[in-house]
């Protein structure tokens, strides 16, 4: 037996005196604190404000309609490009019909960019980062998130999740569905960028303003 073989055999003999090592327990990168719905709503609003977004809290759809109408009036918006989703239809019902333009597949990007603002519906909210999860199965849905200078997201308080891992069980089955095209977007506040002098500029790569109407 060579010296190398003798050393390896001694190592094997020594290691055989120890019990086998099992599979390590998976590390939980984002531990769950299980906050209440109201705690998550407050955290969501705080985190979104940190990145220059805003949250309008509403107790009901009726109040959400009033909030949107007031936002439109104060902002002097004249044309809203809207996703054809149930909550968007409910909340925009209080606006003049000629102001609400339902997104169509034949709209060119320039048509969407010329809108005053977009109104889209959230598929989930992340409290820890103030982010909105938006399913965009079509090109026009996706462009509504990027091209208009302002974006209004309609969401419910019961859509809040503590963080992405907590939201994943409800998102993954839908994302894996064979009939779902497009993509999910994670929207966190208005578009932000900074130059070499670290001067923050809003609205360069997307909406300059983002407001979330949170119902419930």
Q: Mean pLDDT, to the nearest integer, of 174-181?
A: 72
Instruction: Assign 119 a pLDDT band (cuts: 50, 70, 90).
Output: very high
Joined together, the tokens standing for residue 114 give: 């010329």
Taking alpha carbons only, the member of 153, 146, 112, 117 closest to residue 132 is 153
Helix (H, G, I), strand (E, B) or coil at 183: strand
| Residue 166 CB partners (closer than 8 Å, separation 6+) | 30, 32
Q: Mean pLDDT, to the nearest integer, of 97-111?
A: 95
Mean of all residue pLDDT scores within the chain:
88
Higher pLDDT, residue 167 or 21: 167
Q: Report the percent of the chain where pLDDT is more than 70.
A: 88
Strand partners, 215: 58, 156
Higher pLDDT, residue 96 or 16: 96
Q: Mean pLDDT, to the nearest integer, of 97-108?
A: 95
| Residue 49 CB partners (closer than 8 Å, separation 6+) | 55, 130
Domains of the chain by start residue, with CATH = 35-215 (3.40.50.10420)
102 pLDDT higher than 80: yes
Instruction: Outline where DSSP puts E strands in the chain.
Output: 54-58, 80-82, 100-102, 117-121, 124-126, 131-136, 150-156, 160-161, 183-187, 192-194, 200-202, 209-215
- Do 187 and 145 contact (CB within 8 A), yes or no? yes
Q: What is the pLDDT of residues 181-207, one digit of tens each?
A: 668 889 998 866 766 666 666 656 668
Q: How far apart are CA 173 and CA 170, in angstroms?
A: 7
Angle at 31 between CA 26 and CA 32, to 5 degrees: 125
Task: Give the per-residue pLDDT at 177.
Answer: 73
Joined together, the tokens standing for residue 120 give: 């889209």
Q: What is the pLDDT of residues 50-85, one digit of tens each?
A: 999 999 999 999 999 999 999 999 999 999 999 999
Q: How far is CA 216 from the centre of its chain?
A: 18
Joined together, the tokens standing for residue 213 give: 């109407």
Q: Mean pLDDT, to the nearest integer, of 26-47?
A: 87
Joined together, the tokens standing for residue 195 give: 């130059």
Joined together, the tokens standing for residue 167 give: 């939201």
Instruction: Assign 20 a pLDDT band (cuts: 50, 70, 90).
Output: confident
- Entry field: residues in the chain: 216
Task: Give the per-residue pLDDT at 203.
Answer: 55
Question: Where does residue 216 rank: exposed (0-12), middle (13-18), buried (19+ CB within 10 A)?
Answer: middle
Q: Mean pLDDT, to the nearest integer, of 23-52?
A: 86
Task: Give the per-residue pLDDT at 108.
Answer: 94
134 pLDDT higher than 90: yes
């Amino acid at each position: 037996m060579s010296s190398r073989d003798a050393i390896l055999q001694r190592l094997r003999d020594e290691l055989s005196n120890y019990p086998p090592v099992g599979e390590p327990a998976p590390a939980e990168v984002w531990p769950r604190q299980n906050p209440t719905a109201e705690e998550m709503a407050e955290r969501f609003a705080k985190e979104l404000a940190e990145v220059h977004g805003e949250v309008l809290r509403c107790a009901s759809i009726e109040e959400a309609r009033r909030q949107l109408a007031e936002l439109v009036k104060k902002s002097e918006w004249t044309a809203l490009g809207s996703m054809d989703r149930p909550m968007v239809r409910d909340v925009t019902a209080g606006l003049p019909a000629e102001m609400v333009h339902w997104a169509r597949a034949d709209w060119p990007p320039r048509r969407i960019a010329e809108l005053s603002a977009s109104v889209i519906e959230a598929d989930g909210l992340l409290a820890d980062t103030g982010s909105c999860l938006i399913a965009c199965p079509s090109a026009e849905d996706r462009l509504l998130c990027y091209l208009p200078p302002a974006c209004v997201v309609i969401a419910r308080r019961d859509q809040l999740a503590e963080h992405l891992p907590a939201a994943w069980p409800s998102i993954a089955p839908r994302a894996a569905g064979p009939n779902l095209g497009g993509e999910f977007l994670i929207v966190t506040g208005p578009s932000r960028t900074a130059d070499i002098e670290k001067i923050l500029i809003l609205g360069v790569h997307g909406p300059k303003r983002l407001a979330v109407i949170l119902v419930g």
